[in-house]
Structure 1
Amino acid sequence: MSRWRIIMLVMIAVGVITLILGLVMPMMTVSKMVVVSNEFSILSGIGALLADKTFGLGLILLTFSVIFPLVKFIGMAAYLYYYPAIPNALVHWQKTLSRLAKFSMLDVFVVALMLMIVKLGYLVEVTIHHGIYWFSAAVIISMISGILIERDIAQRIHG
C-alpha cells in the first residue's frame, strides 16, 4: 500500500473519530430567561425531536448529520482499500464519490439551521460547546479527503 493511501486512510479515520465526537459531545447549551437551561448534542437533539414526534425534522437531521457522513467516510475508505486499477471501475468510483460530494455542505447547513432555530427567541441565550467544533472538523476533513480522492481518480483515469 502506498504512503499516500496510508495517509488518506489515517485522515479518514481521524474524520470518523471527529464525527463521532461531534455527534456525542455537547454542541450547545440553550438558556431561556436564565431559569431553564438545556444542553444538546446532535444525537440528543435528534432523540428529543423523535421523542416529541417531530419525525420529519428528526429523520432529516439523522440522515444528513449521522448516516450520510458515515457512508461518505466508508465510501472513501473502500476506494482507498480496493484502489481499483481498471479504468471502468475508476469511472464508477468517480461518479459515486462525486454524487456523495454534492451533499457535503448539508452537514454545515444542519448545524447552521440548528443555531438559527435556537437563536430565534429574544429571551434565549445560546452557549456553544466543543461538539460543534468536532463536528465542523469532521465536515472539513470529509471535504478535503473527498477532493484529494477525486483528484487521484482523475489523474489515474487521464494518466
Structure 2
Amino acid sequence: MADFNYMAILVAAIVPFIIGFAWYNPKLFGTTWMREAEMTEEKMKSGNMAVIFIVTLILSFILAFFVQTLTIHQMSAASLMGGDPELAKPSYEAFMNDYKDAFRTFKHGALHGVLAGLFLFFPVIAINGLFERKSWKYILINSGYWIVSLAVMGAIVCGWR
C-alpha cells in the first residue's frame, strides 16, 4: 500500500505561497486582481499577516494531504478494501504487485492537479464569484492560480517517493 509521504506533503504545502508571491505580484496579475477584488493597500495592511500565513500553511498542508490521495491510485485501491491490507482479498495483493509504482510520476500528478483545478476549484470559485458579483477577470485569476498550484502540488506528492 502507498504510504503518505509527509516530506512531499510539507513541500507541496509551501507551493501556494511561492506561486502566490509571483501570481499576485503587480508585475503579473496583482494589480488587476486588486482592482477586481476591490482590494486596497489599506485593506492589505489591516490583517494580521502572521495569523494569515500560519492558517494558510495549515490549510495548504491539509490540501496537499488530500492531493496525494487524489494523485496516487494505489491509495484509492487500498481504500476500496477499507485500508487494512489484512482484510484484503488475494486480488488486492495481485493488483498491488502488478501496479505497485504505476502512474507514480511528476507528470501524472500534475495532470491530476490540473484536473482538480479545472473540475473542482474552478466551479467553486466561479460560483462564489458570480454570487459575489465579481468579474470574470477576478474568477479567472484566482482559478488560474489554483490550477497552477494544484498542478505543481500534484506533481510533487505523486512523483516524490
Same fold (TM over 0.5): no
In which range does the TM-score fall when normalised by the shorter chain?
0.3 to 0.5
More strand by share: 1
